[in-house]
Amino acid sequence: MAETNILPSGHTRIDHLEMLGISKRFPGVLANDQVDFSVTSGEVHALLGENGAGKTTLMKVLYGMYHPDEGRILLNDQEVSIQSPTDAINNGIGMIHQHFMLVKSLTVAENVALGSKSSREPLTDLHKVSQRIIDLGNIYGLEIDPNAYIWQLSVGQQQRVEIIKALYRGAALLILDEPTAVLTPQEVDEFFVIIREMAKDGHALIFISHKLHEVIDISDRVSVLRDGRKVGTYLTADATKGDLARWMVGRDVEFRPEIEVVERGEARLKIKGISCRSDLGTPGLRDVDLEAYSGEILGIAGVSGNGQRELAEVITGLRDATSGRIELDGEDISDLPPIARTDKLLAYIPEERMKDGMIKDFTIAENLILREYHKRPFSKRGMLNLKAIERHSEKLISNFQIKTPSQDTLAKSLSGGNIQKVVVARELSRQPRVIIAAQPTRGLDVGATEYVRERLLEERKSGTAVVLISEDLDEILALADRIAVIYEGQIMGVVQREDATPEKIGLLMAGVKEGAE
């Protein structure tokens, strides 16, 4: 008995954990509504739901970061009170957050040691911690250099640090909040091997995702959340992808929308030999050549941080290129400032819509004219023409189905989906020649996602060249006519829609050239 109860990492396992009737309210939202959830030792239990369904909230309740308004937690059939992350850790619960909780300026060992006692107080005992990191790494195939700084690590490596952090604290139950969102398909496979290994050893694992194929791949049971309520818990083996989608969204979903055939036209955007520096002064882009044609969506795939941001900024003029040339409809725009490029009808849907896409404390109406406020009819002789602005925003609010109490509402009080609609409305209503869309559906719910994608497809049909930069490979595969894969600031290859498979793109995303091993 005693022997089977201990995990290889040396900790007692959690046979059964149960959350009963959990409710959590935020101002204006019921994020969890009477949710029941349970997980057992040796099981991978997936928690499936759209963005905003309440998955993270439920797990933060379990990890002591939120206090539920109602509900109880039973651990091995005993009620426990989890008031803080410390309580959770003491009960053997570990959590890997959707947004990594790592201190970038500290080393791996320091991050792991944070919060734990040291054997030579008040000094640190980092050599011991490092040894333990290596030992744990050996058990689960999580190799990592304990002395590396976090900022030096790739996202995949940072995730390993997060897992080691939890194991180091004796986690017998591990919550993984959207752990695959930042990984390449190959990294996901490696990650799943680790997860299975841990489950086999008797850990209890909660795997959060909104990606159906991953849930089907890895989980034993799946619980579906929708709008804060639990739809049900099912054996994964009994569920089909269609079922899961229907439970998650509440209606039937098409997986890969058929894309209308559109005749490809002239090259509208030409990028030749562009290089630039990253924020750290290291090479951000290296000698990038790309062309985007009228009537096509050019997808840019890649793992986060491989130059996507730099690419978008160089094209729009927000970052200086160190060499190379950019042409818009045959005209050299390399030396034009951002505003002149905008005036030449280059549209930009930025990655960080709250920061770069709009001014939070401006009204919807004001945000809708950010590109053209200095021109007639919105401004005459230096004065704003409020009537014209009002008419313009009324038109866009209705054309683009922006849900807002009024056009004088401050942008920051809208939901994420509606904020994105404001950005899309502003950019697309100008009949652009080229659109740079960076992560245009990130964090949006299914409805808003479909909306944005449809709009981009419409633009494609009307002859615009659309550059779709996305870390969501499924999105790229669904929409793009051609897919360029970016890795460490270089274009690894351009794949036609017909030839694109997740495996092929995934290899390029990991920096493996075709033909090479």
Partner 1 sequence: MNFEIILHAGIATGSVLLFAAIGEILTERSGILNLGVEGMMLLGAMAGFGTSLATNSAWLGVAVAVLAGGLLSLAHGLVTIHFQADQVVSGLSLTFLGTGLALVLGEGLTGQTPPLLLDYNIPVLQSIPFLGPALFQDHGLLVYAGYLLTPFTWFYIQKTRPGMHLRAVGEKPAAADTLGVNVYGLRYLYVFVGGCLAGLSGALISLSVSPGWYSSQTTSGQGWIAIALVIFAQWNPFRAALGGYLFGMLRRLILDLQGPRLLFGLVNPLYVNSNYSFFLIMTPYILTIIALIFGSRAIAKKRAGSPSALGIPYIRGERGQ
Ligand X SMILES: Nc1ncnc2c1ncn2[C@@H]1O[C@H](COP(=O)(O)OP(=O)(O)O)[C@@H](O)[C@H]1O
Where along the sequence are the contacts to Mg ion (CB under 5 A)?
A: 56
81 binds partner 1 (CB under 8 A): no
- Going by C-alpha positions, the residue among 305, 217, 291 that lies closest to residue 511 is 305
6 neighbors 201 (Cβ within 8 angstroms): no
Of these partners, Mg ion, partner 1, ligand X, none, which one is at the site of residue 327 (CB under 5 to 8 Å by kind)?
A: none
**Complex with ligand X: residue 55 or 482, whichever CB lies closer:** 55
What character string, x for contact with partner 1 (CB under 8 A) and - otherwise, covers 464-503?
----------------------------------------
**Shortest distance, position 219 Cβ to ligand X, whole Å:** 16
Subset of residues 161 to 190 that bind partner 1, contact rule: CB under 8 A = 165, 169
56 binds ligand X (CB under 6 A): yes
Question: Which residue matches tokens 């094209």?
Answer: 315
116 binds partner 1 (CB under 8 A): yes
26 binds ligand X (CB under 6 A): yes
67 binds ligand X (CB under 6 A): no
Cβ neighbours around 17 below 10 Å, total: 25
105 binds partner 1 (CB under 8 A): yes
**Complex with Mg ion: residue 181 or 315, whichever CB lies closer:** 181
**Shortest distance, position 64 Cβ to ligand X, whole Å:** 15
**Shortest distance, position 24 Cβ to ligand X, whole Å:** 8
Q: Reduce the secondary structure of 228-245 to three states and give it as a string.
A: CEEEEEEEHHHCCHHHHH
**Complex with ligand X: residue 181 or 321, whichever CB lies closer:** 181
321 binds partner 1 (CB under 8 A): no
Number of residues that bind ligand X (CB under 6 A): 11
User: CB under 8 A: which stretch of 117-125, 254-262, 336-344, 403-411 binds partner 1?
Assistant: 117-125
**Shortest distance, position 191 Cβ to partner 1, whole Å:** 21
Rg (C-alpha) for the chain, rounded Å, is 25
From 13, 19, 52, 295, residue interacting with ligand X (rule: CB under 6 A): 52
**Shortest distance, position 49 Cβ to ligand X, whole Å:** 5
Report residue 5: phi and psi, to 5°.
-85, -10
- What's the CA gap between 489 and 310, in Å, rounded? 8
Distances (CA, A) of 417 to 331, 354, 447: 35, 11, 9
- What's the CA gap between 111 and 115, in Å, rounded? 9
- What's the CA gap between 474 and 482, in Å, rounded? 14
Of these partners, partner 1, Mg ion, ligand X, none, which one is at the site of residue 281 (CB under 5 to 8 Å by kind)?
A: partner 1
- What's the CA gap between 118 and 484, in Å, rounded? 49
**Shortest distance, position 258 Cβ to partner 1, whole Å:** 37
From 54, 137, 307, 317, residue interacting with ligand X (rule: CB under 6 A): 54
223 binds ligand X (CB under 6 A): no
- Going by C-alpha positions, the residue among 148, 7, 145, 21 that lies closest to residue 73 is 21
**Shortest distance, position 471 Cβ to ligand X, whole Å:** 17
Greatest extent of the chain over all pairs of C-alpha atoms, in Å: 85
Distances (CA, A) of 203 to 90, 169, 171: 16, 13, 8
**Shortest distance, position 85 Cβ to partner 1, whole Å:** 5
**Complex with partner 1: residue 101 or 193, whichever CB lies closer:** 101
Subset of residues 140 to 159 that bind partner 1, contact rule: CB under 8 A = 149, 151
Peptide bond into 68 cis (omega under 30): no
**Shortest distance, position 445 Cβ to ligand X, whole Å:** 9
In total, the chain counts a number of residues equal to 517
Subset of residues 278 to 297 that bind partner 1, contact rule: CB under 8 A = 279-281
**Complex with ligand X: residue 33 or 356, whichever CB lies closer:** 33
Buried residues in 435-468 as b, exposed as e (16+ CB within 10 A): bbbbbbbbebbbebbebbbebbbebbeebbbbbb
493 neighbors 301 (Cβ within 8 angstroms): no
506 neighbors 186 (Cβ within 8 angstroms): yes
User: CB under 8 A: which stretch of 83-91, 178-186, 299-307, 383-391 binds partner 1?
Assistant: 83-91
123 binds partner 1 (CB under 8 A): yes
Measure the N-to-C terminal CA separation of the chain; round to a whole number of Å.
47
319 neighbors 313 (Cβ within 8 angstroms): yes
414 binds partner 1 (CB under 8 A): no
Burial class (CB in 10 A: 0-12, 13-18, 19+), 200: exposed
193 binds partner 1 (CB under 8 A): no
Of these partners, Mg ion, ligand X, partner 1, none, which one is at the site of residue 302 (CB under 5 to 8 Å by kind)?
A: none
Angle formed at CA 281 by CA 278 and CA 286, multiple of 5 degrees? 55
**Complex with partner 1: residue 64 or 302, whichever CB lies closer:** 64
- Going by C-alpha positions, the residue among 75, 95, 460 that lies closest to residue 299 is 460
Of these partners, partner 1, ligand X, Mg ion, none, which one is at the site of residue 124 (CB under 5 to 8 Å by kind)?
A: partner 1
- Applying CB under 8 A, the residues found at the interface with partner 1 are 60, 63, 65-66, 84-86, 89, 95, 97, 101-106, 110-111, 113-116, 118, 121-124, 149, 151, 165, 169, 279-281
